[in-house]
Structure 1
Amino acid sequence: MAEALKSGKGIAYIHWGNSWQLRSFRDFRHYIDDLIYIHDLPKVDLSSYAAVVMPDAMDAEAPRPYAGQLNAYLQCGGFLVVCLQGHADWLDIPGLEWTPGNCRDWLWWTKGERLEVRLSEPHHPITRSLPLSHMSWHWGGSYNVPQGACSILEIDDGRGSLFLDFPSLPGGGRLLLATLDPHSHNGQRFMPATTRFLQSFYPWLSSELGIVRPRRNRFTYLQCSHVPSEWHPAWIEESLGLAGFEPLFAPSDQLGPELLARTDTLYIPSSHDEFFLKSRAGELVAFLERGGNLIICAEPCQPWLPFMASFRAVPSRPFTNIKVRVRDDRFGIFSDLGEDFDSWQGIFGQYARGWSDPPADAIWLTDVGSERDPKPADWIWQYPTSSGRGGYVFMHNGDNMTRYPDHGPKKEALVANIAVALRKLSMGELLF
């Protein structure tokens, strides 16, 4: 269970091994405490969880062998969330009836049309977090509204409900039941409304349960070189502070489990001791495995992390080779920095002069080198783990980024922009 919740109950997420379910878990892992394979349910005490989520993309028959356990969880006061495009007839809910059906045209959104759904009256409190636009794509059948249930979302003509809340079941349990499939389409990276649904739903669920999640705003700058501008670039504190971070400057000899336990994002400047960092590689990898983020400035000669490759310089002539160009800004890191963000006093080449090969699945963010043969000056990558909780690595193949850009309204804000992007990725506000 997540570190912040060791003293209390958290949220479990039951999956069937489906890639869409697993990808959605990875996206919103900040709000989920345990990942449970459905066929491992007999080994799990569900009463230890404040809520259990059964996402869509589940084989309709997979829950049936465990219906007794899931219903017992509800009957003993548990909070069960079920999304299923179909009839969850294994639920022990008297009077619950499902009717097959879907929207008139599931491509309505490409034709400027309106989906035939509306918020039920009176509006359920959840709609303060999930507006109608976050619940509008299509559905897989509809339910009646049995006694004791509250409808959240319904078909316009009153044919049925697509999202039900059973707030007080016998035994004190609670059930949220939807015929929507947000995890499927979010996991497929298809239909943005489904991503908005989950980005709203999981924070709401934690809040509804009284679970306070950390904001992942602890930023540590590792002090590696006693050159004053490298040791304590105090000017980055303002932009980090404005972005909600709590910056800490820590000498590199403090790098170890205690410092990393107090860090969400660790920044390593370009002038550093590769031998020392290699001696701490195990601790840095463990930090990534549990969801910590690394921002690395390096031109590695002796790569000091397992996924790191040696630095190679691009030809320095013509000079345009060392002008860095933004290739992919899906995370909004460079968009407000200005076109010449990589220049220093009008000179190019200090920001980056080469590249290192990124791992598979990394996203190549900026180009350096010739237009015909560009190389990745900056890339970002999620550290792969079996738990899906790996943190992110932002690799900058060049100088310390603390002084970039050196002009404009976002002067010296590049580091803060990167830290914000990593925080958003860690919390499901951006998707990798």
Structure 2
Amino acid sequence: MSRATRTNPAPAVAFLHGGSHSHLATLADPALAPYRMRAVHVRTGVPEDIAGSDVVVVADRLRPDLLSGWAAEVKEALERGATVVVFGENHVQDWLGVPEQPRPTIFWWWRTGEDHRVRLQAPDHPAWGFFSDRSVIWHYHGVLEPPPGAVSLADLHTPDGERDGSILFVDETNHRGRLLVTTMDPVYHHGSGFMPGATQLLYSALHWATRG
């Protein structure tokens, strides 16, 4: 074991999940084993399960009534300096205070020839050292309005070419820790084994959260 490894242990990662097939398949993914994620069930977990975590990942598609009970703990982690990643369809306007509006996704645009209408933003942002174009252009379930000081990495545009809102932003200014929020749901699609780009986003987000 190298000296650097001894003095810089891997970040502690908590994975807040709901026990769905996609969540459990993601937790069982051998490629994610090096992260040593602590599985915290949204129904049976206790605050102490994420209290010491350096990274908190909120898996997508959690039951709103159960997730809302974790709002205080997730916010506390963010304010003590942890990195928090919140994936999509989690009603962030209700418990995280991020304005969100639903939008119909454009399925299979790469087959139909439709414009996905996603436009990449902030090309010089350091996060682009972790995310590829493909990892953020594939899917979405709504648009977000990032708080002042946050940086949108991908915006959805209307058919007329006007900005509609963000589908992925990073906030490194409004909290002691870092916050990444997206309306994409990579855990569901990765664990379900379909949708190109989902696995890339999941892996990239974890890499960013633990190494960025």
What TM-score range do you get, normalising by the shorter chain? 0.7 to 0.9
Per-residue CA deviation, residues 141-174 of structure 1 (Å, 9 max, x unaligned), is: 111122121111111331100011111334x122
AA aligned to 1:22 is L
1:161 corresponds to 2:162 = no
Change (3 A) 1:185 1:4: farther
The RMSD of aligned alpha carbons is 2.4
For 1:80, what is the secondary structure of its paired residue? Answer: strand
2:190 maps to 186
Supply the distance in 2 between the matched residues of 1:166 and 1:31 (Cα, whole angstroms): 23
AA aligned to 1:165 is V
Normalised by the length of structure 2, the TM-score is: 0.84
Structure 2 unpaired stretches of 5+: none
Change (3 A) 1:134 1:4: farther
2:25 maps to 23
Supply the distance in 2 between the matched residues of 1:187 and 1:36 (Cα, whole angstroms): 17
Per-residue CA deviation, residues 386-412 of structure 1 (Å, 9 max, x unaligned), is: xxxxxxxxxxxxxxxxxxxxxxxxxxx
- Matched-pair contact (CA < 8 Å) for 1:9–1:48: no
1:62 maps to 66
1:111 maps to 112
Supply the distance in 1 between the matched residues of 2:131 and 2:72 (Cα, whole angstroms): 31
Supply the distance in 2 between the matched residues of 1:5 and 1:87 (Cα, whole angstroms): 39
Change (3 A) 1:64 1:36: same
Residue 11 of structure 1: which of 10, 13, 30 is its match?
13
Supply the distance in 1 between the matched residues of 2:208 and 2:63 (Cα, whole angstroms): 26
Residue 175 of structure 1: which of 171, 179, 201 is its match?
179
Normalised by the length of structure 1, the TM-score is: 0.43
Deviation of 1:117 (Å): 0.3
Structure 2 counterparts to residues 166-245 of structure 1, below 5 A: 166-170=171-175, 172-208=176-212
Structure 1 unpaired stretches of 5+: 209-432
For 1:40, what is the secondary structure of its paired residue? Answer: coil
For 1:84, what is the secondary structure of its paired residue? Answer: coil
For 2:188, what is the secondary structure of its paired residue? Answer: helix
Deviation of 1:138 (Å): 1.9
Change (3 A) 1:8 1:186: closer
Supply the distance in 1 between the matched residues of 2:142 and 2:190 (Cα, whole angstroms): 20
Q: Which has the higher helix share?
A: 2
- Matched-pair contact (CA < 8 Å) for 2:138–2:196: no
1:140 maps to 141
Deviation of 1:200 (Å): 2.7
Which of these two proteins has the greater Rg computed from alpha carbons? Answer: 1
- Matched-pair contact (CA < 8 Å) for 1:12–1:51: yes
Deviation of 1:191 (Å): 0.9
- Matched-pair contact (CA < 8 Å) for 2:18–2:62: yes
Change (3 A) 1:56 1:123: farther
Supply the distance in 2 between the matched residues of 1:5 and 1:109 (Cα, whole angstroms): 46
Change (3 A) 1:65 1:195: same
Supply the distance in 2 between the matched residues of 1:179 and 1:45 (Cα, whole angstroms): 25
Query: What count of residue pairs does the alignment treat as equivalent?
Result: 202
AA aligned to 1:164 is F
Supply the distance in 2 between the matched residues of 1:74 and 1:101 (Cα, whole angstroms): 27
1:50 maps to 54
Change (3 A) 1:10 1:202: same
Deviation of 1:85 (Å): 1.8
